Amino acid sequence: MSIDKKLRPHFHITGGEGWINDPNGLVYYRGKYHAFYQYYPEATHWGPMHWGHAVSGDLTHWETLAPALYPDENDDGCFSGSALVWQDKLWLLYTSFTENGG
């Protein structure tokens, strides 16, 4: 389901579609601001968390990119964390878990 652009907020990051949740990393890297957030692109309810990714040159106009992190078959999602720049590389740190204790 796609939402009409005129109905979207003008100064707020939104995912393309699906469920958007907590912001987890805001960082300035190589001339752009990057925002990462918990995101489930498959439905408008909670599900296995991904990390959505948006970039901006001015903190007002945002471009939504493909998810930065995806859960794999061995975990239930990519949850809280942060982003940092270290040694000219962008690093993403996050928590994950499995329901079955694996």
Active site residues: 22
Q: Strand runs (DSSP E) across the chain, as ranges?
A: 19-29, 32-40, 50-56, 62-69, 81-86, 89-94
How far is 52 from 15, CA to CA, in rounded Å?
7
